[in-house]
Structure 1
Amino acid sequence: MPFSNNELATYLFCALLPHTKTTAFTILEWNATVKSLAQNNLEPEFLLNCSPSELMNVLTEATTSQKTKIIKKVEQRQKLGFSMIELEEALNQGYNVVFRSYMPKRLKKLSLNQRPAFYYYIGDLNILNSPHALSVVGARDALPEELNNVENICEDAANNDVLVISGGARGVDSTATNAALKAGGKAVIFPSDGLSQWSRNKEVRQYIQNGQLLIMSTQPINARFTGPYAMQRNKFIHSTGDVTLVASAKISGTKKSGTWEGVLENLKFKWSSLYVIGSSEGVEKLKSENSSVEFNSIKEVFFSTTKLSNILENQLHTLFINALSAGIDKAMIEKITLNEIRKIMDDIEKKTEVKKSSKKDDHTVKKQMSIFENM
């Protein structure tokens, strides 16, 4: 298999592997383990053959409760060795896996405490390198006029090379994706089930082959829909785009609204700026609280100077929060924001592309910024 021992170890201990009746690491447990290994100049492959006592001595960054759970999970998974049926079958069937170190920047907007150890995916991962991306969320039972508006917006997005991101559900999600793809644009779907359900669809396969569609999930390939995961994957949708369009939303009551819960998470963590259309109760609430902006056009949102500065400010906020939570020195962050960004802006004012700056300056910027990118 085309993976390193560190990647195999990551998969072995973080994948759900339902057929084995063992339990995978949580994101917090995996983070504590990886930090502990790094503190001891070790890598994840150490877990493949270590003894419980060796692991106990290494887990310096884990709580007492975490240590007990981690050691138990490692012992259970070690017995599986490299016989990881799901991974082998996934690769043989044309699926792939991307681990943290190789994730595109858009997927790294999530903090380490929210970022999965890996994603399963089908399609071209480079789609995520699109310079502009619009996340679209909304109700399954949105009104016809709301769906029509979504369709027009996503056709316009496609015509302006703006990537469209959604959760793939019926209603707003599917309308957004279909409109972008039919207009010749590109789209990313974070579905609430495994990838096998999608790969059986002839039209989906065609868009994947055309290089227009990427589908990603942390669920096992053959997993079915589950409510908890549908809620969990909201953060993937909201954080991957530069802005998020809320097309229709009900406010959570006795029964939680997936769209609304995702919006609340976004407001808390500031993954992307919120834009709204229509007059659903959730949209009206966001407008009344000044938590969103009325969506007018793709060009105004993505290509006007004012909106671009808002997007950049939001991205920098997320970047620095993640850097601080990862333990990056505040002085280094300040140096990057004040000095390196100023250098880039000076180059722009001189009408010189950043790519054409001196090799020495490029190397310095890349080296320092890579601290954030690889978190």
Structure 2
Amino acid sequence: MTALEKISDESLAILLMTSDLLYRKTKDKDQKPFTHSEWNKFASLLRNSPYSTPATLYDKNEEHLMRDLLLSRSMANKVCSLMKYAGSMAIEIEKLMGMGIWIATRGDKNFPQRVKQLLKEQSPPFFYGTGDGELLRSSAVGFVGSRDADPSSIEFTKRIVRKVVEEGASIVSGGAKGIDLTSQNEALAYGGRVVSFVHSELEMLLRKKEVRKAIVDGKLTILSAVHPSARFTGFNAMGRNKYIYTHSKGTVVVSSNIKGGTWEGANENLKNSWVPIIVRTSENVPEGNRKLLEMNAYNQLVIPFSNESNQSIVELLKKTPSESNNKGKQIKKEDLDLFYLVWPTIKAHIKQGYSSSELCELFNVLPDQLDLWMQRGNKIKPTYNDSPFEQTTLF
């Protein structure tokens, strides 16, 4: 079976426009793909056009695109130039498949759905991956921390990972030296399952015997948003942090300084209210751990966790309000009022067709008060169901 037979027309079209598989080799400007932001703009335009999906672009010329999508001639030319390399792209995909690497675009089954659900347009157009895609559909707990973690952090990580594995959840890591690899290796040694989002050198990882064995055993799935042979860059390392958080049901911050990837990743997560973070506490934790707890004392997504605690992380996350229940309405000092208690009930009655006057009578409030609550409620962004689902949109 060839790559063209294994990949859908839609996914191949997306790769033609977003992947650097060809351009990386040729440096031919006709094969230079869209940037992430360019693709998001074009995809939005396409979704709202008569074309609907990227697969409709194969038989279109510049005049079609200029007329139907109102593209400039240069942009129409770029799209047409990229689309004509389907055969060459298929050959490159075939080579990757020979190494055990598959590619999943945003609508494919092996694209991590929680990442897409939470990041939306921030999610990459595709991931390179290796391993069993079924691992991506299991509940997981993330682990992040310093590369130069101290013995106390290492021992804490191993102990908590073993408990998470015993309770049937997968581990999410970034595959980097320190806490990431400690959590990954401990989970695999203990018979657990791991999803690892790496920032570079996927091809090189596959040369390691222990990595290949874990993949063959169905215990390890590795994903990368950059080319499998890409070398380390700080930008890519920082970029993959959000995949660790959003793929997890919650992420354990084992050790963080006040600078660096762990610190930036944790704050990015809290800024976007993606998932709860469990922050390790003890007398000797790094300054970043203490700062996270101090800065977010009124944030329900920040959970202190004692270094000596034997509490179940899995059960703790089940009892913690999910990101979808907190999105846009974290309780801070200035927001400690009744709005957050009454708004869900008001919203439910609005959906049932109650009028403003009926709501005032039902809740025994003045119209002005109801209007204020309605104004605040209308500013809250829509939330998304947290249950697993099969994504049907292709891009």
TM-score range, shorter chain: 0.7 to 0.9
Q: Does the 8 A contact of 2:102 with 2:130 survive in 1?
A: yes
Q: Greater CA radius of gyration, 1 or 2?
A: 2
| Alignment correspondent of 2:336 | none
Question: How much does 1:72 deviate?
Answer: 5.3
1:322-337 aligned at under 5 Å gives the runs none
1:69/1:163 CA distance change after superposition, 3 Å: farther
Is the alpha carbon distance of 1:69 and 1:299 closer, same or farther for their aligned partners in structure 2, counting shifts above 3 Å?
A: farther
Residue matched to 1:47: 57
In the alignment, is the contact (CA less than 8 A) between 2:128 and 2:225 conserved in 1?
Answer: yes
Change (3 A) 1:157 1:267: same
> 190, 199, 210: which is aligned to 2:206?
199
Total equivalences in the alignment: 322
Matches within 5 A, 1:102-117: 102=109, 103-117=111-125
TM-score, normalized by length of structure 2? Answer: 0.74
The aligned residue for residue 74 of structure 1 is 79
2:196 touches 2:222 (CA, 8 Å); kept in 1?
yes
Stretch of structure 1 that moved more, 91-100 or 21-30: 21-30
**Deviation at 1:262?**
1.0
Structure 2 residue aligned with 1:128, among 121, 132, 136? Answer: 136
Change (3 A) 1:318 1:195: farther
Which deviates more, 221-230 or 210-219?
221-230
Matched, 1:36 2:45: yes
When you count helix as a share of all residues, which structure comes out higher? 1
Work out whether residues 25 and 70 of structure 1, in 8 Å CA contact, stay in contact via their aligned partners in 2: no
The CA deviation at 1:317 is 4.9
1:258 and 2:261 matched? yes
Corresponding residue for residue 217 of structure 2? 210
Distance 2:210 2:69 in 1: 48
After TM superposition, give the deviation of residue 50 of structure 1 in Å.
Answer: 2.5
CA shift, 1:79, in A, is 4.6
State, as a whole percentage, how many aligned pairs show the same letter.
33
After TM superposition, give the deviation of residue 45 of structure 1 in Å.
2.0
CA RMSD of aligned residues (A): 3.0
By how many angstroms is 1:319 displaced? 11
CA contact (8 A) 1:109 1:319 kept: no
Q: Distance in 2 between matches of 1:209 and 1:372?
A: 26
Partner of 2:97: 91
- Structure 2 residue aligned with 1:11: 15
Aligned position for 2:320: 310
Unaligned runs of 5+ in 2: 330-346, 353-384
Once residues 148 and 13 of structure 1 are traced to their aligned partners in structure 2, the CA distance between those partners, rounded to angstroms, is: 45
Q: CA deviation at 1:198?
A: 1.1
The residue type equivalent to 1:83 in the other structure is S
Judge conservation of contact 2:119–2:246 (CA < 8 Å) in 1. Answer: no
Alpha-carbon distance between aligned partners in 2 of 1:224 and 1:234, rounded to the nearest angstrom: 17
Structure 1 residues 295 and 190: CA distance shift in structure 2, 3 A = same
Matches within 5 A, 1:359-370: none
Flag the 1:57–1:224 CA change in 2: closer, same or farther, 3 A: same
Give the 3 Å change call, closer, same or farther, for CA 5–241 of structure 1 in structure 2: same
Is contact 1:10-1:117 (8 Å) kept? yes
Question: Letter of the aligned partner of 1:44 in structure 2?
Answer: P
- Return the TM-score normalized by structure 1: 0.77
> C-alpha distance in 1, partners of 2:103/2:248?
21
Deviation at 1:249, TM superposition (A): 1.1
Task: Note closer, same or farther for the CA distance 1:86–1:178 as it changes in structure 2 (3 Å cut).
Answer: same
- In structure 1, the partner of 2:149 is 142
Between 1:287-296 and 1:238-247, the stretch displaced more is 287-296
